[in-house]
Structure 1
Amino acid sequence: MNSTKPAYLTLLLALAHGVAGISILVISSWFIAVSAIAPVGFNYVIPAVVIRALALLRIASGYASMWVGHNDLLARIANIRLGVFSQLENSQINEKALTTEALAHHTEELASRWIAWIAPLSSIMFIFTSLCFIATWFDFPGAGLLIVLFAAWSIAVTLQGLRALRIAKRATCANAEFRQSSNNFLNSSAIWHLNRGLVGQCEDNATQQHNSHSASNASTLDVKEIKASNIVGKNVSAKAVWQEKIAQKNTASRTAWWFQGIAFLLVVLMISGALSIAQTLLFAPIAIVVPMVLLAAPDWAGNAFSSISKFAQYKQSAKALRQMKTTPIKMLCEREINTAITLTDFSIKGRRTNKVNTSMPAKGVVCVSGASGCGKSSLLQGLAGLLPANGKREIDGVNIPPGLVSNWRYVEQEPIILSGTLALNLDPAGQEIPHNQMTTLVQELGLDKGLLLSTWVGKAGRPLSGGEKKRVALARAILAKPRVLLVDEPFEGLDIHTQQRVCDVLNRYATDKLVIIASHVTPKALVVQKNVQLDEASVVTVNGEHRATL
């Protein structure tokens, strides 16, 4: 199926909707004027029927345009995200906080271009051009004023578009900074309590200022705001993001008001007698068409100023996706394991982790445990090939070079959830995984309560808890059927019953695959073949170097 057909159909329906609307305005205004001077025997039925038919066409085309357009939007979101995945193939985004921005906001801006600005702007441009041509061709009184308004509209759209591009650029930067700052702030949640002394001091200061200023009715400080400002910090603020959004909206509103003022001024000049065509209005019913079109111009042409803002954001989103900073990852072909994976003096480059020497079986569950900060997550990412490492990583005694093994999957501690259906999140690469497999796995992981495959999750959808996100990411990885599954903290935030269900899934998968889990929690239901303990107690000195003997 040609993917452009729904887009063109949306455009044609939007055009039919606009043409029907302006035709109703023109015919109705003429009909009103004719009715005032019509002779006896004038047939009022035909104009009334035409107006009714146009109204039905306008309603039908409007609903059809929305239906086709939004179905096309959903398909385009999926295709564009697949394109982003292709762009990110064999690489990873350096700034994780921007991953959601790239996959959610920017892809939606690109996918919505047909219904957001192409269809509205094209429809208005066609209607304006046609009105000017028809009015000039048939020599309507005041046709020149339509041309003047068209010129004013074109200039206004151009100027506002340039302004909107600058605002959209600032908004994109502000949004990226906010996401990065928020991510850094939330990652420091474990030490929020250390701000307690500072918050208490601020609370005392706020109380003192409140008491000292209450007599003079001066403004007082809000203790809660002081707490928030000190805990969150100056960098974690959505103020800049909202300011740019408000600036974009205000720019469109001001331009629309200027355009409306020009249209009304032309109407006043036309009917006040300042122009010679004013006399024509008294004798020619057709002369009322242009003033009515001018009066209604803010309604049928004013949407362009909101659409041009969408165009500006589209341009910035396209640029942001093209300029995503990524780190190439060397992809290695699939590897089978007959006996074991062996790590020798294995450590992660650029991170303060101990050298690890251990061997892992070809199948079963291997649990990597240890205190927070000892390098469990780094070890899994280095083993998977997502991080550069020193030392040897061998399969059946054969050293494998640096890189990501294609049939190994790493499930991160804070997984990414796309704005889309649950089915899309379970099969983001479009591998056409059977829905019955998805449903079975979702039920086994305890995600089936109120969460169907068609449920929209992520941004503007059903919010998922931390535990639900982890299980969705785990299901996504298992459905890819990797030879080695590396899971980071799968049990964190789960109750005992849900941990049991996750353990059952992992135990069953590990019957013929290798499952490596990094966790500080090891449920009794988890059948562990080998434990790898990363503790200071296991570190010894060998030839002046630190090694973890496992």
Structure 2
Amino acid sequence: MSALLPFLRLWRRHGLRLFLGLILAIVTLLASISLLTLSGWFLAASALAGTAGLYSFNYMLPAAGVRGAAIIRTAARYFERLVSHDGTFRVLQHLRVFTFSKLFPLSPAGLSQFRQGDLLNRFVADVDNLDHLYLRVLSPLAGALLVIIVVTLGLSYLSLPLAMITGGIMLLSLLLLPIIFYRLGISSGQQVTTLNATYRLQLTRWLSSMAELKIYQHDKHWQQQLSLTGQQLAKARQQQQSLTAASQSALTIITGATVCLILWLGSLWLTSPGQDPTFVALFAFCVLAAFEALGPVAASFLHISRVVLSARRLTELLDKDPQVIFPSQSTAAQTTGIALRVTNLSFAYPGQHRPVLDGLNLQACRGEKIALLGFTGCGKSTLLQLLTRAYDPSHGEICFNQLPLRDWDETSLRQRTSVVTQRVALFNQTLRDNLNLAAANSSDSELVDVLQLTGLETLLDNEGLNTWMGEGGRTLSGGELRRLAIARALLHQGDLWLLDEPTEGLDANTEQQILELLWRVTRDKTVIMVTHRLSGLDKMDRICVMENGKIIEQGSHSQLLHLDGRYRQFCQRLTRE
């Protein structure tokens, strides 16, 4: 239960709405109890009055009370749902923003140990599970407790012994039933949460790899795994439903036994002189109505195990300390251009002992264009990630304009760099929204211009900038995704351009057009470009050949060809291919 405390503190901001929702829930329960109790007494009293009391019995006052209780119950129920759900949605919104604000500084270094499907499940499903804490646990529990107190006090004016017996049985049921079914539901509740996360992870991986699985005929094996997990999840949910039905059955039996007990004790109570027999009906109907308040409580604690496990999973994620911490303010001078210096740089990914970069040194003057070449795994993309401070180096130093990269605040660093990564992130939003991520204040005409420059004007044919991109840009080809990333970089216009294979997936003509565009717009910019192609290398000021995390050759295109080293071998191999 201690895992819930950090999240309960977040609810203070919305405490007034949640408290008002609780008050309205109690008013609804009391109005429902009053309606059934008064109706039962009214029917019993009318039957005893008979035709002889047709003119002496006051029918109007009880009838008005029944109608008033019904109206109050309906109105209170409406506003209770309105207020409590509004409060709950606001809490969920706050939780999501809080969770994302904690996750963002962790990316990517602090999140490398988690799979994407697992992160998605924690951010979506586990946060959703915390919704049950108020609506299905705290609100029903507090409402039932206050109803027991009010009902016991009200009935005590008629008969203190019967009121104490009724209140005692209800209080005992309130204490025992949740505990019993919480114990019974721990295992299945945790299974539901765990299997739901596993199912979401498997489904995400299956959908993202469907094309490859179809090609190599492994899709049936994945479908079987997914089906097996689905069956296990359905079985765990069935166990929860069975426990829910058992809790309701137990409460029904207790309610019936209590009513029978009250009727028997009431019959003994009527043997005393001067007792009104209609009060026995009042007690019986009041017990029936009051036990309805316990209905949600008995089943609510079946959800608490899922809530606690979700809270623990989120806490495990949120308690991680960021591996990269930016200063709040930067001492970087607002000079034109970026000159960088990398000194004795070494880096190994978390959990790996073999360094990806090992004593690397590199300098780039303002406006210089540098290409990084090398076999896969030699550390080219890793170097770009270190230049964006996605990770901090294990040893060595990176400086921009003579200032260590650790002393740059995040806002200044992001404003001064334009990055095109291998994997282009697109959101399930419009074309306009995805482009505005690079420059939020861009006008529609500017967005259209960069699309035309990158050869993506066909994306405007149907709905223009309102064209829906789909999840991950599923409607786009690999080349279109890459050109869209370049369009973002054109909008951002940073002083340092970090390009990771910007022309991958493009045909020769389009590649040449994009490279000419890049040289034109980055004329006075510093460019570090990772590539596996020969195109455009003759335009680079310097080419650095990397191997085993180090730069083993560097120079211009013509200089490296005359060396007859790795670069010449690289060019010969690509020419043959």
Task: Normalising by structure 1, report the TM-score.
Answer: 0.68
- Residue 265 in 1 paired to residue 257 in 2? yes
Counting only pairs closer than 5 Å after superposition, residues 299-310 of structure 1 correspond to structure 2 as 299-310=292-303
Counterpart in the other structure of 1:108: 128
Asked if structure 1 preserves the Cα contact closer than 8 Å seen for 2:41 and 2:279, the reply is yes
Counting only pairs closer than 5 Å after superposition, residues 268-417 of structure 1 correspond to structure 2 as 268=260, 271=263, 276=268, 284-296=277-289, 299-324=292-317, 326=320, 328-333=322-327, 334=330, 335=332, 338-343=337-342, 348-350=347-349, 378-389=382-393, 392-400=397-405, 405=410, 407-409=412-414, 413=423
Counterpart in the other structure of 2:572: none
Q: By how many angstroms is 1:122 displaced?
A: 1.1
Counterpart in the other structure of 2:25: 14
- Report sequence identity in percent: 18
Counting only pairs closer than 5 Å after superposition, residues 52-63 of structure 1 correspond to structure 2 as 52-63=67-78
Q: By how many angstroms is 1:114 displaced?
A: 3.1
The separation in 1 between residues aligned to 2:98 and 2:39, in whole angstroms, is 49
| Letter aligned with residue 306 of structure 2 | Q
Query: Of the candidates 484, 495, 498, which is equivalent to residue 516 of structure 1?
Result: 498
- Residue 121 in 1 paired to residue 141 in 2? yes
The separation in 2 between residues aligned to 1:167 and 1:132, in whole angstroms, is 36
- Residue 77 in 1 paired to residue 92 in 2? yes
Counting only pairs closer than 5 Å after superposition, residues 233-252 of structure 1 correspond to structure 2 as 233=225, 237-252=229-244
Q: By how many angstroms is 1:95 displaced?
A: 0.9
Asked if structure 2 preserves the Cα contact closer than 8 Å seen for 1:354 and 1:548, the reply is no
Unaligned runs of 5+ in 1: 200-226, 427-432, 453-461, 469-490
Query: Of the candidates 184, 188, 199, which is equivalent to residue 163 of structure 1?
Result: 184
Q: What SS is found at the alignment partner of 2:114?
A: coil
| Letter aligned with residue 395 of structure 1 | F
Q: By how many angstroms is 1:260 displaced?
A: 0.6
| Letter aligned with residue 386 of structure 1 | A
Counterpart in the other structure of 1:466: 472
Asked if structure 1 preserves the Cα contact closer than 8 Å seen for 2:45 and 2:278, the reply is yes
| Letter aligned with residue 399 of structure 2 | E
The separation in 1 between residues aligned to 2:383 and 2:64, in whole angstroms, is 76
Asked if structure 2 preserves the Cα contact closer than 8 Å seen for 1:341 and 1:396, the reply is yes
Q: What SS is found at the alignment partner of 2:340?
A: strand
Counting only pairs closer than 5 Å after superposition, residues 17-96 of structure 1 correspond to structure 2 as 17-38=28-49, 39-41=53-55, 42-85=57-100, 87-88=102-103, 90-91=105-106, 92-93=110-111, 94-96=113-115
The separation in 2 between residues aligned to 1:168 and 1:411, in whole angstroms, is 44
Asked if structure 2 preserves the Cα contact closer than 8 Å seen for 1:365 and 1:516, the reply is no
The separation in 1 between residues aligned to 2:285 and 2:345, in whole angstroms, is 79
| Letter aligned with residue 185 of structure 2 | A
The separation in 1 between residues aligned to 2:463 and 2:92, in whole angstroms, is 27
Task: Normalising by structure 2, report the TM-score.
Answer: 0.66
Q: Max radius of gyration: which structure?
A: 2
Q: By how many angstroms is 1:278 displaced?
A: 8.4
Moved more, 235-244 or 377-386: 235-244
What CA RMSD, in Å, does the superposition of the two structures yield over aligned residues?
Answer: 5.0
Moved more, 88-97 or 54-63: 88-97
Structure with greater helix percent: 2
| Letter aligned with residue 17 of structure 2 | P
The separation in 1 between residues aligned to 2:339 and 2:483, in whole angstroms, is 27
Q: By how many angstroms is 1:242 displaced?
A: 3.8
**Compared CA separation, residues 285 and 171, structure 1 to 2 (3 A):** same
Q: By how many angstroms is 1:31 displaced?
A: 1.1
Deviation per residue, 1:71-95 (Å, 9 max, x gap): 2223222333343345457433331
The separation in 2 between residues aligned to 1:378 and 1:321, in whole angstroms, is 29
The separation in 1 between residues aligned to 2:303 and 2:27, in whole angstroms, is 22
Asked if structure 2 preserves the Cα contact closer than 8 Å seen for 1:367 and 1:532, the reply is yes
Query: Of the candidates 529, 532, 535, which is equivalent to residue 532 of structure 2?
Result: 535
Asked if structure 2 preserves the Cα contact closer than 8 Å seen for 1:102 and 1:321, the reply is yes
Counting only pairs closer than 5 Å after superposition, residues 397-546 of structure 1 correspond to structure 2 as 397-400=402-405, 405=410, 407-409=412-414, 413=423, 437=441, 464-467=470-473, 493=477, 503-510=486-493, 512-519=494-501, 520-521=504-505, 524=513, 527-528=517-518, 529=522, 530=527, 532-535=529-532
The separation in 2 between residues aligned to 1:332 and 1:231, in whole angstroms, is 44
**Compared CA separation, residues 25 and 437, structure 1 to 2 (3 A):** farther
Q: For this pair of structures, how many residues does the alignment match?
A: 476
Counterpart in the other structure of 1:204: none
Moved more, 135-144 or 41-50: 135-144
